[in-house]
Chains A and B, each alone.
Chain A
Amino acid sequence: AQKVTQAQTEISVVEKEDVTLDCVYETRDTTYYLFWYKQPPSGELVFLIRRNSFDEQNEISGRYSWNFQKSTSSFNFTITASQVVDSAVYFCALAWNQGGKLIFGQGTELSVKP
């Protein structure tokens, strides 16, 4: 069965701290896709990144970085020097077929205090 687990329900940090959001996934498929979405208080899900299962290269985009490790079935997300605007709920998601549905984790609510 396909499943995504985000064990951290809530995280609270002070501005400028680094923070890592954990994501562990389960799938039997050899080809799959992993995503991170941000849901600010306005409610709209904002796409952040997509990774393919055959590409384990880590990625950095500004203050955001992602660590994909197939050996531990993890796809963790790190925000460096967090800012108040980073406060949101972050979802990790998995898709395993062509254009298929996303299986979301429960989400991690990040609160960045000034």
Chain B
Amino acid sequence: EAGVAQSPRYKIIEKRQSVAFWCNPISGHATLYWYQQILGQGPKLLIQFQNNGVVDDSQLPKDRFSAERLKGVDSTLKIQPAKLEDSAVYLCASSLSGKRDALEQYFGPGTRLTVT
């Protein structure tokens, strides 16, 4: 079974530029998550989708970050404009729809973003 796919793996941009990350979850996984992991810290949730609806985006900096999950499969996370503090690894994860239980999340390899 294929895992969570993400691209690109690495991205270097200058501040104030825009960038987009792509994620393809495990087939059949209804729930998709985007996490931000700053160096030396644990991942922090940015946004959670259930199919193509947003479940939780309370920690998404909406003035510069946006995300969508068209057709309830692939997802794109965008930053516009980027700031230096956005330098981090952006992790995508997916899980089966957990109607009763918080199920294990499976993570992709991440996109390492460097903002200069």
Question: Residues of A with Cβ closer than 8 Å to B?
Answer: 4, 32-33, 35, 37, 42-47, 50, 52, 91, 93, 95-102, 104-107
Known: A44-B107, A104-B44. 9 other contacts (CB 8 A): A33-B101, A33-B102, A42-B109, A50-B104, A93-B42, A99-B101, A100-B98, A101-B33, A102-B45
Cβ contacts under 8 Å, A106 to chain B: 40-42
> Mind listing 20 A-B residue pairs with CB under 8 Å?
A33-B102, A37-B107, A44-B109, A46-B107, A47-B107, A52-B101, A93-B42, A98-B101, A98-B102, A99-B55, A99-B99, A99-B103, A100-B56, A100-B98, A100-B102, A101-B33, A101-B45, A102-B105, A104-B42, A104-B43
The 7 lowest CB-CB distance pairs between A and B, nearest first, are A104-B42, A99-B98, A95-B102, A45-B107, A101-B45, A33-B102, A44-B109
A47–B101 CB distance below 8 A: no
- Once A91-B42, A99-B98, A100-B56 are accepted as A-B contacts, the answer to whether A44 and B104 lie under 8 Å apart by CB is no
Instruction: Report chain A residues within 8 Å CB of B24.
Output: none
A35 to chain B: closest residue by CB: B104
CB neighbours of B25 from chain A (8 A): none
**B: which residues have CB within 8 A of A?**
31, 33, 40-45, 48, 50, 55-56, 89, 91, 93, 95, 97-110, 112
Nearest chain B CB to A37 CB, angstrom units: 8
In Å, the complex CA distance between A23 and B91 comes to 22
| Cβ-neighbour of A99 out of B43, B45, B97 (below 8 A) | B97
- With A99-B97, A104-B44 known as contacts, the answer to whether A43 contacts B102 (CB < 8 A) is no
Alpha-carbon distance A50/B98, docked complex (angstroms) = 14
Instruction: Give min CB distance, B88 to chain A, whole Å.
Output: 12
Shortest beta-carbon distance from A28 to chain B in Å:
16
Q: Which B residues touch A105, using CB under 8 A?
A: 42
Q: Are B41 and A45 touching (Cβ within 8 A)?
A: no
